[in-house]
Amino acid sequence: MTSLLSPARRQQGFTLLELLVVVVIVAILFTYTTLAIRSDSAEDIIKQEAQRLDRLVQLALEEAILRGEEYAIEVSLDGYQFLHFVDNRWQPVTNDKILRPRELPLDMELEMSLEDTEIVIGKAESDARTALMNDRTLGDDETEQEQEDKNAAKPQVYLLSSGEITPEFEIRFYILGVDTSYLVSGAFDGNLKTRISEL
């Protein structure tokens, strides 16, 4: 017989099943949080790169107007660089830390269209061009000038000293597996827009 004064024996602690349920719930929440953070940070990286190009093109266009020089953009699969017209040819901007060549973060890709026509972007060849120029001997029928012309920078977009951009362009920044991309577009009158775009 138990007396009313003696405490009843109660269960203390959690059962194994309760602990397993809590662990599973925490693991699921952690997984969703990690995926959400990764997705948001990838979108932020895409946005930052698109905004960087927008600001750099604006700066290069302003410099073209102020200096009365012609600038251009050469886009490749792994980045882009600004060029200026010096000594009757397009040369990379080397004396400006802001307009230096830019490489894209890993996994980021570009698509480009000029005046509503999608173009195929070639792989960056500046290092390959330099190596080719240093290692290759000229053929009998090829002059040094012809070799330089073949290896010269080939811009796709021109930023003119009149404040115009030609041709009109759109460059899409994206990462495979991320639903959101950003589109930088430049109009003939020099207006630039950066906007979010779905793939």
User: For 22-51, what is the mean pLDDT?
Assistant: 80
Domain coverage including residue 93: 44-137+145-198
Percent of residues, the chain, with pLDDT higher than 70: 74
Residue 109 maps to a domain: yes
Q: Are 46 and 129 in contact (CB under 8 A)?
A: no
pTM over 0.85: no
pLDDT interval class at 137 (50, 70, 90): very low
The share of the chain scoring above pLDDT 90, in percent, equals 53
Does residue 149 surpass a pLDDT of 70? no
pLDDT tens-place string over residues 59-80: 999 999 999 999 999 999 889 9
Question: CA 95, CA 199: separation in Å to the nearest integer?
Answer: 37
pLDDT, the chain, mean? 82
Residue 103 pairs with which residues in a beta bridge? Answer: 79
Rounded to whole angstroms, the Cα distance separating 66 from 75 reads 24
Give the residue among 36, 57, 59, 39 at the shortest CA–CA distance from 47: 39
pLDDT value at position 151?
A: 58
Angle at the Cα of 46 from the Cα atoms of 42 and 51, rounded to 5 degrees? 145
Q: How confident is the model at residue 130 (pLDDT cuts 50, 70, 90)?
A: very low
Both tokens assigned to 32: 């969703």
Would you state the pLDDT for residue 7?
58
pLDDT of residue 4: 56
Name 17's Cβ contacts closer than 8 Å, sequence gap at least 6.
none
Query: Do the bridges between strand 169-175 and strand 71-76 make them parallel or antiparallel, or are there none, so unpaired?
Result: unpaired
Q: How far is 120 from 111, CA to CA, in rounded Å?
A: 8
The CATH number of the domain where 132 resides is what? Answer: 3.55.40.10
The pLDDT, as a whole number, for residue 114 is: 95
Residue 20 forms part of a structural domain: no
CA distance 166 to 92: 18
> Within a domain: residue 12?
no
pLDDT at 3 over 90: no
Q: What's the total number of domains in the chain?
A: 1
Quick check: 128 pLDDT over 60?
A: no
Highest-confidence range of 26-40, 77-91, 110-124, 149-163, by mean pLDDT?
77-91
- Interatomic CA distance for residues 45 and 51, integer angstroms: 10
**18 within some domain:** no
Angle at which helices 144-151 and 126-135 cross, to 10°: 160
Of 154, 134, 164, 148, the C-alpha closest to 81 is 154
| 121 occurs within a structural domain | yes
Q: Would 174 be classed as within a structural domain?
A: yes
What band does 132 get if pLDDT is binned at 50, 70 and 90?
A: very low
Find the helix or strand (DSSP H, E) in which 124 lies.
none
Q: Residue 129: what pLDDT?
A: 38
pLDDT by residue (tens digit) across 42-52? 999 999 999 99
The residue behind tokens 């600001």 is: 55
